[in-house]
Amino acid sequence: MGYKSLAAAVRDLEKNGHLIRIKEEVDPNLQMAAIHLRVYAAGGPAIFYENVKGSPFPAVSNLFGTLERSRFIFRDTLDAVKQMVQLKGDPSKALKHPLKYAGLPFSALKALPMKSFGSAPITYGQTKISQLPQIKSWPMDGGAFVTLPIVYSEDISKKGVMNSNLGMYRVQLSGNDYELDHEIGLHYQIHRGIGVHQAKANELGKPLPVSIFVGGPPSHTFAAVMPLPEGLSELTFAGALGGRRFRYLRKNGHLLSADADFVICGKVYPNETKIEGPFGDHLGYYSLKHEFPMMRVENVYHRKDAIWPFTVVGRPPQEDTSFGDLIHEITGSIIPSEIPGLHEVNAVDEAGVHPLLFAIGSERYTPYAEVKQPAELLTIANHILGFGQMSLAKYLFISAKEDNPSLRLYQKEDFFRHILERVDWTRDIHFQTKTTIDTLDYSSEELNFGSKVVIAAVGKPIRKLATELPSEIEWPKSVKDVKLASVGLVVVQLNAFTDYETAQKELKEFTEQLNAQLGKLEQITMIVIADDAPFVAANFSNFMWVTFTRSNPSHDIYGVGSFTQFKHWGCKGPLIIDARIKPHHAPALVADPEIEKSVDALAVKGGSLHGII
């Protein structure tokens, strides 16, 4: 269905039982976010907030809260969009299956952006930043944020909608040193298209015009998070997915989305930054205060029936997980076509996406060799770490399809077991140090910089993994607790981390005592050091979240029987990852108990959330 507006989508969802209304006044300071988190966790519907305290505008959240609802929203266009993306990856498919792709020219016509002349819905009225819903999601957040912004910029030396970038970079509306109604914070991470545009503007000494669209047809929001193939515009994707051409106009030197609910216009001036944050982020921690570009606000436009959409991020899974699921459904076939030998790749949501990648590739370089070792897998791994946003990955585990053709990456514990059965720690671990990592990853002591590690495993199993803790192991006296988290995978609890000098001494003693028992450790492949062993071992999701968000490979990987041969590091016994909380780590997200009580009140009989949570 080609929704003309967010309001049309809201009406359609409500009509079909996918949306509830909250009639009570709700507070954008923590309460609305708490409601959203509860409803999402319950697998509930989209939520329309009729009465937002301090704002004349209603709000909506959880629009994309389930994959099923996302499919429903795009039910009339999703199949055609999948076909368009498939053809982008392999144009020969149109020749091989002409009937299947016969309708695509019409879909492509809808994808072309269209300039609006005269009046447009977005020019109905103007407002101020302070009148927008001031949604604060977590107690330590630095102020109110836009959490579903569609940030539009153009190449200043080659202007035009087809030379634009559409991205979702969080926007801080208030707090810190921002002058309310006149300045907002524009946070964007490395490897984002807007950075290229700002760099060009800075070189010319000119301010970069930026337009922030909020709302509009749901396809516009989704297009802003879509990692599109090179040469495929986000605006054309929005039109194709929405079944309606992206309409725009220019006003006062800025491009406006004609169908958006709100457009915030302003400029980013060269070398002008302010402190942004903290912000409770999608890794499950706060991203801390840092200098980021500041935007000087010039105008805030809104349509007549404007609705403020938002989401809440936190420890996965959250609503952005559904974004990821739909992205994978649409693009799952194209990434392997871009990287020879790659069959499947999964940015693991439970670990915050960028910290952990699983991949399956081919190993065909030496089919004649009796002893199998990673070769083509390492070529593929290097390609992955140079491909788009996958280049931000910190841990990459890759296996060979030939070893188990039925293995799938969504079977995460099975995949990890497959790796642990085959990996040879003397050979199969490969580091990159002092390199770029995700901006939101605080496992390193430097923003944007840390390390990466590739772990490649190929061939037949070389060990049987322990299904229970071996009773004969004599754990060092420093061990407070020890649990088996999965087959061959042990979690050990030590004293809290203090500093790296102390940690190296602790781990030296720890590994030396275990090195004397190598024969007893044959069925243990990995040991994770943690602050709370029972929590980490409680389920595989906890293991992935703690282990890969709280460790920096170059600093936190150790091994029993470790050695360095020339520049290669390896170990003869289990690999050890120190995933304790470090002093430089960002705090984990914790809800406010009083706010939680206010949400409980909405769930009692007669409340808007009764029967939902």
Model pLDDT, residue 195:
80
pLDDT band at 101 (very low <50, low <70, confident <90, very high): very low
Number of residues that this document lists for the chain: 613
Model pLDDT, residue 106:
44
Model pLDDT, residue 377:
96
Contacts by residues 336-344 (CB-CB < 8 Å, ≥ 24 positions apart): 337/89, 337/90, 338/89, 338/229, 338/387, 339/380, 339/383, 339/384, 339/387, 340/380, 340/383, 341/376, 341/379, 341/380, 342/380, 342/383, 342/384, 343/401, 344/408, 344/409
Looking at the domain assignment, is residue 588 inside a domain? no
Model pLDDT, residue 192:
65
pLDDT tops 80 at residue 332: no
| Residues 67, 349: Cα–Cα separation, whole Å | 14
300 & 339 share domain = no
Residue 211's domain spans which residues? 6-73+112-310
142 & 215 share domain = yes
Model pLDDT, residue 371:
66
- Mean pLDDT for 167-194 is 88
Looking at the domain assignment, is residue 87 inside a domain? no
- Mean pLDDT for 515-544 is 96
pLDDT band at 92 (very low <50, low <70, confident <90, very high): very low
Looking at the domain assignment, is residue 257 inside a domain? yes
Q: What percent of the residues of the chain are helix, what percent strand, and what percent coil, each to the nearest 5?
A: 30, 25, 45
275 & 349 share domain = no
Model pLDDT, residue 202:
87
Q: Give me the chain's average pLDDT, please.
A: 91
Model pLDDT, residue 1:
61
Looking at the domain assignment, is residue 380 inside a domain? yes
Treating both helix axes as pointing N-terminal to C-terminal, what angle do 31-41 and 593-603 enclose, rounded to 10 degrees? 60
CB 174 within 8 A of CB 29: no
Looking at the domain assignment, is residue 508 inside a domain? yes
The one-letter amino acid at 549: T
The one-letter amino acid at 115: K
395 & 530 share domain = no
Q: Which of 310, 344, 364 is the last residue of a domain?
A: 310
168 & 232 share domain = yes
pLDDT tops 50 at residue 94: no
Q: Which of 457, 472, 501 is the last residue of a domain?
A: 457
492 & 357 share domain = no
Torsion over CA of 509, 510, 516 and 521, rounded to 10 degrees? -170
Domain CATH number, residue 361: 3.40.1670.10
306 & 337 share domain = no
- Give tens-digit pLDDT for 447-502: 889 999 999 999 999 999 999 999 999 999 999 999 999 999 999 999 999 999 99
pLDDT tops 60 at residue 100: no
Cβ count within 10 A of residue 588: 17
pLDDT band at 164 (very low <50, low <70, confident <90, very high): confident
- Coil/strand/helix, residue 26: strand
- Mean pLDDT for 579-586 is 97
CB 46 within 8 A of CB 613: no
Q: What is the DSSP code string of 168-233? A: ---EE-SSTT--TTTEEEE---SS-HHHHHHHHHHHHT--EEEEEEE-SSHHHHHHHH--PPTT--
Q: What percent of the chain has pLDDT over 90?
A: 75
Model pLDDT, residue 88:
59
Using alpha carbons, select from 466, 429, 456 the residue that is nearest to residue 562.
Answer: 429
Rama region for 277: left / alpha / beta (φ>0; ψ in -120 to 50; rest): left
How many alpha carbons lie under 13 Å from residue 92 in its C-beta half-sphere? 1
414 & 495 share domain = no
Q: What percent of the chain has pLDDT over 70?
A: 93
- Give tens-digit pLDDT for 333-379: 667 778 899 999 999 999 998 899 999 999 988 877 776 899 999 99
Q: Which of 457, 492, 512 is the last residue of a domain?
A: 457
Looking at the domain assignment, is residue 89 inside a domain? no
Model pLDDT, residue 288:
94
Q: Name residues whose C-beta falls within 8 Å of residue 519's C-beta, 6 or more positions apart in sequence.
A: none
Looking at the domain assignment, is residue 613 inside a domain? no
165 & 204 share domain = yes
Model pLDDT, residue 498:
97
How is residue 563 written in tokens?
């050695």
CB 61 within 8 A of CB 31: no
Domains of the chain: total: 3
Identity of the highest mean pLDDT range in 96-100, 124-128, 221-225: 124-128
Domain CATH number, residue 69: 2.30.110.10
347 & 415 share domain = yes
- Pick the residue with more confidence: 447 or 304? 304
pLDDT band at 607 (very low <50, low <70, confident <90, very high): confident
235 & 124 share domain = yes
How many alpha carbons lie under 13 Å from residue 111 in its C-beta half-sphere? 19
Q: Name residues whose C-beta falls within 8 Å of residue 10's C-beta, 6 or more positions apart in sequence.
A: 19, 46, 48, 60, 307
Model pLDDT, residue 102:
43
First vs last C-alpha separation in the chain: 30
Instruction: Mark out the alpha helices in 529-587 (DSSP H runs).
Output: 533-537, 540-549, 553-556
Model pLDDT, residue 491:
98
Burial, 133: exposed, middle or buried (Cβ in 10 Å; 0-12, 13-18, 19+)?
Answer: buried
Model pLDDT, residue 217:
97
How is residue 228 written in tokens?
């599109």
pTM score of the predicted model: 0.92
pLDDT tops 60 at residue 191: no
438 & 564 share domain = no
Looking at the domain assignment, is residue 100 inside a domain? no
pLDDT tops 70 at residue 577: yes
- Coil/strand/helix, residue 464: coil
